[in-house]
Chains A and B, each alone.
Chain A
Amino acid sequence: MTLRPVEFHILLALAAEERHGYALLQEVASLTEGELQLEPGTLYRALHRMLKDGWVVESARRPAADVDDERRRYYRLAPLGRRIAAAEAERLHRLVTIARAHRLLARA
């Protein structure tokens, strides 16, 4: 089963650190160099599914109070989400290797 791009991007955006919703949107945009501009509804529908399936959890921790807005909900990767993201990255890596072997992709 393949992961949906939206989901994979969310997992990637959460890989480095936990984030709140809008930060996630910005991170996805910057990860894709502005190619994927998610709207909040799309993001949260995916997030909702991933929360229910246990890929992502709502974080109990908060950053330091002076940079935080009290009301924000932070999300972080659950172990399951991390494994899924790793598996997807592995799958993509294999594909990229094959593509390279067939000279579809220049060596980095």
Chain B
Amino acid sequence: MPDVTPRRLVWWLVRAYPPRFRQDVGLGLVDAIQDRMDARRAAGATAFGVWTPAILDTLRNAPPEWMRAALDRTPRQPDSIAHQPRNTGREARGRTMIDRLLQDIRYALRLWRRKPGFAFVAILTLALGVGANTAMFTIVNAVLLRPLPYHNADRIVSVWGRTSAFPRGLLTYREFEESAKLPQTFESVALWLPQSVNITGTDEPQRLVGTFVTASFFEVLGLRAERGRLFTNEESAPGTVKPVAVITHTTWQRRFNGDPGAIGATMIVNGVPLTVIGVLQPPFDPDRAPSDGYYISTDLFIPLAQFPTPNGLAAAGPVMLGVARLAPGATVARAASDLDLIQKRLAADGSQPAASGPSFTAASGRTLFVEPAQESVVGTSRPALMLLFAAVGVVLLIACVNVSQLLLARAVDRDREIALRAALGASRGAVTRQLTVEALLLAFVASIVGLGLGRFAIAGLAWLRPPASVPIPTDLPFDAVVLLFNGAVALAVALVCGLAPAVRAARPDLARTLQAGFRRASGTGRRTRDTFMVVEMAMSVALVALSALLIQSLLAVQQAPLGFDASNVFTLQFRLPQAKYAKPEDIARFFKATIENVRAVPGVQSAALVRAVPFSGNGGTVAYNVEGQPQPDPASAPQALFHLVTPDYFKTMRIPILEGRDFTDRDDLTTPLVAVVNETFARRVFPDEDAIGKHITTPQTKGPITIVGVVGDAKHYTSTEPQRAQLYAAHYQVPLIFSSLVARTNVAPMSITDSVRKAIWAVDKDQPVWSIYSLETAVDRTQGQSRFLALLLGIFASVALLLAGVGIYGVTAYGVAQRTHEIGIRLALGASGERVLREIVGRGARLTLIAVAIGLAVAVLMGRLATAVLFGVKPTDPAALAGAAAILALVSLAATYLPARRAARVDPVLALAEE
């Protein structure tokens, strides 16, 4: 420890003072601090005891000195100006402008200090509005605006096979091959498909998500290996079976503890040993990106050649997702027209595989469709996000109007002062400028506070557990775009808040204001205030109506009949390894044994297998033809949802059997094909006949299928979808490696999880199972968006109503206070208090009527924006609109009645004596 305090360190302390101050007395201050510190040290103080008082002293004195510097109006000392030779005219003018600006800011701050309540309420109101908007924009920016975090992501496009049933469907291998021959359009094209894979050779069989890809997949997305290497074309092309795999960084950490020896290790995937040849370098943290990274939301990558399909990929029909990178300069439109040509050629030369897979439809009915990848990844989020964004915008508008009213009311109070200033020579511009500066200052402070509040708002949103369509990535950038938006909002806020008072002040009637007591001159602001009130009420009506629509929609979603009973149903999914279950008989044997074991689990009432559990997101359609009816050309063959189920499925799901019979164990590989259809199917296809005993054919099944039963309609993907025709086939007659279990329990469904798993492992100890949940949860999840939007809009509408109520009350109360004198005279001349009350309330009611008319129109427009998220209710729903109007009318009545009653009780003597 040196005896003398280093001067340089002390200088750092003194830097906390304003430059001007330092210039004047900085050296002296440094000396004094240093002397004081040396003295303390000499007296035996520790370094802490020496520095702490010095730092505290600086903290106490530097900030007020900055304030002083900002407020200081005295021009620079002549001698210091003399040191600045470039004191040109322009600089002097610049300084006077800044001086004036500073003066205006000081003036505004003084006003706020005098009325801190006003400043607090105004800033808080605006900050809440700005905060909500910043929060929503931060999310919109992260999800919708920010490009996907891949290299040159704007050139990445999704390629879809489009049919009437599925606008975004899968591609065939032929389509991929042809697309890859267009170097002018696509730099590279890839197929990919994430699918659950079974990992064995470990203690318990496990399920991972493996993505089957062409080698080009990594090129398209611009991905690199962190260790080892990625696939070569030879390794991925169908027909060449080179058993390799690339793992993601997360899998490397989780399964191999980041061991470099992972390269070269073997993983048994779907029963096939694969050699790990590389670790993928993640381009970003997939856990923090929207849609969990989408393309790389997987555990390992497997060459397309390993994809489990019975007769090889080329014959498999459309089973793969398509993604491509546009060549530099190529456009989406060009890609679309090129793909169109390919599709026409393929349809004409018949080289498309005939058909297979439940989601396949006749080749000639297909078109190829290309869109920016960003749209595929986040497009579904747009309606909900834009609706919320619009709603917070409206809330901010109401907040602005409220603050504007406050400013206006105060401007009226300041009429005399403003008029006096104008009369004393302040230009109108100066007065307007002062008011504008005040509004800007308010908006500025509010936007800073709002930035902070916005962070809380996002945390709050995340806490409300938003649905998948409102993704809240944890990686929310606090970037220039957000700051820019915040600044723009602040400017808009200042404009809306400050415009009316400033315009009003710019044309004051000087003589009148100065002659009259300022109270009586206030009638001039009335029209502006009325306009504001109408705007505010109209916006509130719109938000209340919109939230009513969403609540109705939520109720409709929750009450929509599902067609099955989701309570107490346990489900799980599995995929048998193709190699081990090569023959249909093997699969059927596994099915039967599994069901028998699960039925024996205590708590299970009945159990069945179904290929795609309702509300699981799985499912497919089939084109069918009816024997004895005219055969339409394949392109327009009717489609039905296609289900494969074992006996007891309808009993387990409580889907009523309306006619005929359920499948039985005898409907197996040795007996003729049978099917069950739903009511909609029967009514649509056989409107005047009995469906039982009719024969249909499908491309997927050999020979005619006899309809043996008709069951009730059931929803499959969401409770809001239109009811579709459904065709159930016997799972034992069409055994496929992927299936799911449903079990009705008389205990809590999830409580049987372990016993069911053991029951399945008793059949095959290497078979992993996944997606274990109760059916009720799955149904509930699909209603998440409706619930979330109804809740948020409810909150926004309440805030809007509250603000509007406060605003109306404030304006009316202010108006009454302004007119105390006049009301006093009228009461003295014999008008009854009741009449005064009626007049004030009546005036409020007229404004409310106008506001309701405008507001309902706005609500209908916003409702249009919301149609994508509305179910079972139209934007023009009379009940919602009328309800919103009634609620606002009530609020407005209450908010005008209270001040009006006060007016009616004015004591004429007191009111006149005030003069």
Binding site for B on A (CB under 8 A): 20-22, 24-25, 39-45, 47-48, 51-52, 71-73, 75
Contacts and interface: CB of A to CB of B under 8 A. Distances in A.
A21 B61 contact: no
B874 interface: no
Nearest to A53: B74
Given A51-B25, A52-B77, A39 B31 contact: no
A26 to B, nearest CB: 9
Interface string B621-643: 00000000000000000000000
Mostly, the B contact residues are helix
Contact of A21 (B28, B74, B77): B28
A25 B36 contact: yes
14 contacts: A20-B31, A20-B32, A22-B35, A39-B53, A39-B61, A40-B32, A40-B36, A40-B57, A41-B33, A44-B28, A45-B61, A72-B28, A73-B25, A73-B27
Given A22-B32, A72-B31, A52 B74 contact: yes
Given A44-B25, A47-B25, A51-B25, A21 B32 contact: yes
Chain A binding site: helix, strand, loop or mixed by DSSP?
A: helix
A43 B27 contact: no
Contacts of A41: 29, 33, 57-58, 60-62
A8 to B, nearest CB: 19
Interface string B29-41: 1011101100100
A22 B5 CA distance: 15
Given A21-B32, A22-B31, A39-B54, 8 more contacts: A25-B35, A39-B36, A39-B61, A41-B62, A42-B57, A43-B32, A71-B31, A73-B27
A71 B35 CA distance: 13
A52 to B, nearest CB: 7
B27 A71 contact: yes
A12 B132 CA distance: 58
Contacts of A43: 32
A73 B32 CA distance: 10
A25 B74 contact: no
B32 A44 contact: yes
A77 to B, nearest CB: 16
Contacts of A42: 57, 60-61
Looking at A41, A43, A48, A75, which has the most chain B CB atoms within 10 Å of its CB? A41
Interface string B413-439: 000000000000000000000000000
Interface string B1-38: 00000000000000000000100110111011101100
B36 A44 contact: no
A11 B404 CA distance: 51
B28 A20 contact: yes
Contacts of A21: 28-29, 31-32, 35
A44 B68 CA distance: 14
The listed residue with most A CB atoms (<10 A of its CB), out of B21, B25, B27, B56, is B25
Nearest to B53: A39
A47 B28 CA distance: 10
A40 B39 CA distance: 13
Given A40-B32, A72-B31, A48 B61 contact: no
Interface in B575-594: none
Given A41-B60, A42-B60, A52-B77, A25 B25 contact: no
Nearest to B7: A71
Given A41-B58, A42-B61, A73 B36 contact: no
Nearest to B37: A40
A77 B653 CA distance: 99
Interface string B51-89: 001101110111011000000001001000000000000
Contacts of B60: 39, 41-42
A21 B488 CA distance: 49
B35 A45 contact: no
Interface in B113-151: none
Given A22-B36, A52-B77, A73 B57 contact: no
A41 to B, nearest CB: 3
Contact of A48 (B25, B33, B62): B25
A40 B54 CA distance: 8
Contacts of B21: 45, 48
Nearest to B16: A41
A71 B24 CA distance: 15
Contacts of A52: 24, 74, 77
B32 A25 contact: yes
